[in-house]
Amino acid sequence: MNDSTLDPPGSIVVIGTTELGIEAALYGRFLGYDVTLVGGADAWADRPNVDVSAQRIGPTFRDDWFGRHWLNGRELAECWDLASPMLPDRSLSPLAFNAIAAQRGDEIPAALPVTIGEWIQDGLLAVTRSDLLRGRVWPNVMVTSVETVDVVDDADEDEEGDDDSGVSIPPDYLLQYHSVGDADDNSPESQQCECVIVAGLPVGSRGFTKPSADEYWLELAEIETSDAEEMLREGQRQIAAIYSQLMGREELDLYRPLRG
C-alpha cells in the first residue's frame, strides 16, 4: 500500500459483501468514514430457504476461501446446519459483536453463532443491519465497471481559476452498478467515491477491472492458511493496516485491547 491518506468523512466503497467486506465497512464506519458496501459480483453458491437478504452475505463464492477449505466440494446448503469450524466467540470481531449488541439493546448477550448458517444469518447479516451500516449495504448491487474521474476543488482555486495549493488532487472513482434478484431499496445506478476497497472477491468472478489510477484502490490479499479463525484474524489485521495508513496513524488499531 502507498502512503496516500484520506481523512474522515472521506467516501469509501467496499466491494464484496463477504465476511471481510462487512468487517472493512464496519471498521470504516467506526472511524467516521462515509462507507458504502456493495455485493460486487453475482457468483454466490446456492443457499437453503433463508432470509432473501442473506443470499449474498458472507461466504461463499464457489472458488473462494470457504468453498475450498470448508465445503470440500459440497454445496453450502448441505453444510448450513453443520457446526462452524470456528469457536463461536471468535467467529466475529469485537467490533461486530458490539455493533450487534448496540442494535439489539439487550442487557443479556445474544446467543453466539454455533453453526455455519447462524454465523451468516444471525452474525454477519445482523452486522449489516446495525446502526452503523443500516442503509449503506446493498448485497444485490453488482459492479459492472470502474473508471476514474478528475476532481475539481473550487476552494483551492484563486480568482483567475488557477490552483495555487501546490497539492495534486487524486481522481475519484466512478462505479457503475447493476442490480440483480430482488433490487435493494434506493440502490444507486452509479456512485462516485474517493477510495475503493475490494474484499474477498475472486478475480474470475468480477465483472469489472482495476483502473489504471490506483492510488486509492486497495485490495485485501487472500490468506494462505486452512484455519478459519486465522483467516479472519489476518483479514482483520489487513483491514486495520489499511485504515491506519489512510488516517496516517501508524499505531491505530481498533482491535487492540484497551489498557485497563
- Each residue's pLDDT tens digit, 50-68: 778 888 999 888 778 888 8
The answer, yes or no, to whether residue 251 has pLDDT greater than 80, is yes
Determine the CATH number of domain 11-247. Answer: 3.50.50.60
What pLDDT sits at residue 236?
A: 96
Verdict on whether the full-model pTM lies above 0.85: yes
Phi-psi region of 72 (alpha: psi -120 to 50; beta: other; left: phi over 0): left
> For residue 9, is the peptide bond before it cis, meaning its omega torsion is within 30 degrees of 0?
yes
For 152-207, the pLDDT digits (tens) are: 765 554 444 444 555 678 899 999 999 987 767 788 899 999 999 999 888 888 99
What pLDDT sits at residue 15?
A: 97
User: Which among 50, 52, 51, 76 has a CA at the least distance from the CA of 63?
Assistant: 76
Buried b (16+ CB within 10 A) or exposed e, 85-110: bbebeebbbebbbbbbbebeeeeeee
Name the pLDDT band for 4 (thresholds 50, 70, 90). confident
For 32-47, the pLDDT digits (tens) are: 999 999 999 888 888 8
Name the pLDDT band for 128 (thresholds 50, 70, 90). very high
Kindly report the average pLDDT of the chain as a whole number: 88
Sequence ranges of the domains in the chain: 11-247
